[in-house]
Structure 1
Amino acid sequence: MCKNRAMPHAGFHGPFTRPGRHRVAVLVRHGLLPIEVGIAHRILGDARTEAGERLYEVVTCATEPGELRTTADFTVHVAHGPEALAAADTVIVPAAHERDETYLEGRLPPALAAALGRVGPGTRIASICTGAFVLAAAGLLDGRRATTHWASCDRFRALFPRVRLDADVLYTQDGRVLTSAGVAAGIDLCLHLVRTDFGAAVANGVARRTVVPPHRDGGQAQYVERPVPSPRAQSTGRARQWALERLKEPLALRDLAAVESMSVRTFTRRFREETGMSPQRWLILQRVERARQLLEESDLAVDRIAHEAGFGTAASLRRHLQVALGISPSAYRRTFRAGSATRAGHGGRRAAGAAVPAG
């Protein structure tokens, strides 16, 4: 791992060797989880232009190059030191499981603090799973919305009361700082980064090749351990599918509940248990995704897209897209229209974007 010995291009220094690509540094520590390091390389490393050119260059780094212990029965050789952080456009901090890591007590070891001090002020930074403890101990999450693995949320709240922890979501973005829930939620976060940088078409292509859903419904609340439900308990999956087939129609909560032959109160409770959000919130997110798809892939006018996505009016679409993505429909279309991913692949640093609600 990370034994890239390619000669750097003229005028380009450090561990990154491909000028023009978005540079990603994955900061690992002793006790790293191999799957989490692999997520960043697999998802971001597989994002490509229509011509097949890679859009990201991903390198792994540590506070000191060398052999790192993992949670498996092998070590990992990391060729790059913290200098990679200074050159990165995006930094990703996965989890690490080591009993002696003091960051779990709310403070960073000196070497780790010094390494994070190399991250530029405009660099986007993200964590996977309990990597959020590192960002919080560094003060990067103060006053921001964040998440981490549900099993660690109580400890996180006690250590970092200034962070607005949301224990129910799969990932969060608050300005340039992103966090994700446990392990596999790192896939959701990395796909979100690809969508933000290069559009849904590129992210969907990565998801198809990885054989994962491009967007998972709900949050991590659905994975929290709960008592075994009654055998007679019903799912709300049929109502969700029914709604997806009728997004452009007015859909009342009572209509969705009727599909499952439930009362509105029971349906709402079970829906939240299964997805981690209210039916209304879920419906808005599905309509936003439908609008994004139409803006990228069709020539339809904004008024028509608003109708097809179920927002009714262009003003309503603009309002919801602004809240969800921090951008207007016309600006989104200009950025992510089919073919724009190829142009975006040569842009170097990109803005992190506005806060995006987690799935």
Structure 2
Amino acid sequence: MADLQNDLPTTTEVGELPDDPFPAEPHDRGAGDEDLERARALLAEHPVADGYSGLPWALRHLNQYDLEAGETAVDTDVPRLREGHVGALFWSLHQPESPSGGALTAALDQLDLARAVIDTHPEGLRLGTTAGQIIDARNCGRVAVVLGPAQAAALDDSLGVLRCLRTLGLRVLTLTGTAWAGAAGLSRFGEEVVREMNRLGVVPDLSGASEATVRRTLAVSRTPVLCTRSAAAALRPHPANLPDTLLAELGEAKGLCMVPLTAEQTGPTVRDVADHLDHVRSVAGPECVGLSGTYDSGATHPHDLADASRYPHLVAELLRRGWSEPELSLLTWGNAQRVLRSADFAAKAAQHRRDPSTVRMTELDGRI
């Protein structure tokens, strides 16, 4: 596969779950569609964990902005996140343009910007570096921001850099675009990267990775993996979409396919997106399907899914198709929480068994 490198209601104390931490705006309550009202009620209990947002890059080009008051220059702001019942947002550190200072410098710049944005919007956003912190943010009526995915090239083939990025909050790394994760799959050093990611709690992202890399990562990783921007290739051919064989293997490994809301990958309508969600659920299982808005990434979105406020319309379509409330709760929130929680638990266990790895690529792979 081709490389795709192109994360106010009254404050509630931690541990107390408000009835609806992300209430819809009053004007949005007038819709007469019963399924839409059911969708909003469900999302009030089980908000969306959105697997891919390009917001940091989009904000980089704005001289000033206020996400808490509302910002029309981007697809995502706090009012629309609340209207869409988004409880967690994965902020991508990918670079759609070739970074002049190198991949590591670009990733650090993005991390610095992301943390600054969170710090300047404390009433709406909160950094979540663990599954528990994401729950705490929701309980306090904030949208949790998860940092990542980032490009594997940012590691500069150094496991020490990986540890530093994790210390800065990185949770997801895309395994593409390097000599150790390419068309031939993971090299020996690539396998060591995955093991160290497991030890640190950094989740592998396999969207855009080669089939060989996907299969070898599934075999090596001791934690579930993500595909942060992948739909069903059987319905719409695209370099990042997964064939049924890989979807089935991902399901067996309890990984998560986060279906993007983009016209290019899923189609131009809400029904097209729902078709992909139906297909992934059928092939991989309801515990292995999630959502990826891909807002502010430069993508064109399906009709009626133009920004982060429109998730209730997608959930209403799924209700009309017979999705059960337990299945929808997994789709929107439960599956992403499971993957992050599994990574947290595995990291704690691995840190008791395994010291930080200091090997270099040249020691395992020679000079590639």
What TM-score results when the alignment is normalised by the length of structure 2? 0.31
- Structure of higher CA gyration radius: 1
Q: Normalized against structure 1, the TM-score is what?
A: 0.32
